Amino acid sequence: MALVNEHFLKLPGNYLFADIAKKVNAFKVQHPGEDIISLGIGDVTRPLPPAVVSAIHKAADEMATEAGFRGYGPEQGYGFLREAIVKNDFLPRGVHLDPSEIFVNDGAKSDTGNIQELVRWDNSIGVTDPAYPVYIDSNAMIGRAGVVEDGRWSNVVYLPCTAGNGFVPQLPDRRVDIIYLCYPNNPTGTVITKDELRRWVNFALRNDTLIFYDAAYEAYIQNPDIPHSIYEIRGARRVAIEFHSYSKTAGFTGLRCGYTVVPKEVTAATLTGERIPLHTLWQRRQSTKFNGVSYISQRAAEATYSPEGREQVRQAVGYYMENARIMREQLTRLGLSVFGGEDAPYLWVQTPGGESSWRFFEQMLYNAHVVCTPGVGFGPSGEGYVRFTSFGSREDCQEALGRLARWIG
């Protein structure tokens, strides 16, 4: 008899977006013919940049020839991409990485979920709250998160980010082995300053804490003083692993490519105190469980660094950020308290009158035919908020705002 991994049974039955889809479907059944606009989805809508598309065509043609055919590639990614990453994403910010510290992946979700395999099940974890659900759920699957009690995992240290603290999480008041940080933040759309990030790195150095830093949205940063990488902070190379993705930047959600940075200095301890480089372990893990990203996707990712590619990515980001600006302005004009949306494609909106996230979500669905995401789905501190994304088309965005104005105004 095969015994099931019972930790899976502790996970909430439904993924947040399945719950939302169910409620939207119920509305559609009752109101056939009504069209609904979703400002809830976390998926991009702009087509791939032309420079990326030509790279895909070119790579496909190469693969069609005997000389250009590529089979299994290096598990860690092709040198051409890892070198382009080091040169374009880090060097200009004064960060010196070796291409061997870059692990190309099929998107940041896999690695943010898998990285916890490198550390023992009984480490403690701290997570900013609200958060991208992958961080806690992946830990829950091997029993590290404990059990859910009143909507909170018993072994997770929640670091609340709310309007009350300006979305700046407090350093934990107890020792935590591992901390997940995500900036620019999904879902709140807020960012972290260099000084605040330095506090986290120093905390990690002092307390021997490992930081998993999710930088999936760094391309959305507009303010030149906001750090794009945790390695801009001195000492971070010893304590942090960082995740990047081409998904939200260059429209790769369906194409799949990202990368993880594991500096050679990052270590974790054995019970006897020996320090083991996580780079070695991650390389071992990847070469066992992963066979690399397709050559075509890696050439596509490389193309985002060409002069045309960079300009086209900049334009796509600019399009979504203009949506965000319009949404921010109009939602604020409607009297709502709006956070984020200045250096990130997300707006985090307080529900009026302290209504619950789900109730406000349903009222908006039924009265304005607009879908958002209930904040509580991202963690207990998300209660009383909803998330809007700026990933829709300009037309949908404006139509949705008009409906919200008629409803609220």
Helix (H) or strand (E) holding 276: strand 275-277
Q: How many angstroms separate the CA atoms of 392 and 323, rounded?
A: 8
Q: How many angstroms separate the CA atoms of 102 and 79, rounded?
A: 10
Which window, 104-112, 149-157, 170-178, 308-316, contacts ligand PLP (CB under 6 A)?
104-112
Q: Which is nearer to ligand PLP, 108 or 127 (CB)?
A: 108
In the complex, what is the shortest distance from the CB of residue 200 to ligand PLP, in angstroms, rounded to a whole number? 17
Which window, 1-9, 117-125, 243-251, 297-305, contacts ligand PLP (CB under 6 A)?
243-251
Cβ atoms of 403 and 368 within 8 Å: the answer is yes
In the complex, what is the shortest distance from the CB of residue 253 to ligand PLP, in angstroms, rounded to a whole number? 5
- 245 near ligand PLP, judged by CB under 6 A: yes
Q: How many angstroms separate the CA atoms of 310 and 318, rounded?
A: 12
Exactly one of 125, 182, 219, 404 binds ligand PLP (CB under 6 A); that residue is: 182
Half-sphere exposure in the Cβ direction for 90 (13 Å, CA) = 27
- In the beta sheet, which residues pair with residue 389? 346
In the complex, what is the shortest distance from the CB of residue 246 to ligand PLP, in angstroms, rounded to a whole number? 7
Q: Which two tokens stand for residue 25?
A: 């479907």
- 229 near ligand PLP, judged by CB under 6 A: no
Q: Which is nearer to ligand PLP, 214 or 302 (CB)?
A: 214
Exactly one of 214, 242, 302, 383 binds ligand PLP (CB under 6 A); that residue is: 214
| Binding-residue pattern over the window 107 to 146 for ligand PLP, x denoting contact by CB under 6 A | xxx--x-------------------x--------------
- 77 near ligand PLP, judged by CB under 6 A: no
Q: Which is nearer to ligand PLP, 216 or 401 (CB)?
A: 216
Q: How many angstroms separate the CA atoms of 173 and 306, rounded?
A: 46
Exactly one of 251, 258, 340, 384 binds ligand PLP (CB under 6 A); that residue is: 258
Q: Which residue lies nearest ligand PLP, judged by its C-beta?
A: 107
Which window, 70-78, 142-150, 188-196, 241-249, contacts ligand PLP (CB under 6 A)?
241-249
Exactly one of 222, 253, 356, 398 binds ligand PLP (CB under 6 A); that residue is: 253
Cβ atoms of 253 and 220 within 8 Å: the answer is no
Q: How many angstroms separate the CA atoms of 76 and 86, rounded?
A: 14
- 299 near ligand PLP, judged by CB under 6 A: no
Is 233 strand, coil or helix?
coil
Q: Which is nearer to ligand PLP, 228 or 369 (CB)?
A: 228
Q: How many angstroms separate the CA atoms of 409 and 407, rounded?
A: 6
Q: Which is nearer to ligand PLP, 368 or 372 (CB)?
A: 372
As a whole number of Å, the CA-based R_g of the chain is 22
DSSP secondary structure, 237-275, as one string: GGTEEEEEESHHHHSTTTT--EEEE--TT-EEE-TT--E
Cα–Cα distance list, 267 to 75, 96, 116, 263, 301 (Å) = 21, 19, 13, 9, 29
Which residues lie near ligand PLP (CB under 6 A)? 42, 107-109, 112, 132, 182, 186, 214, 216, 245, 247-248, 253, 258
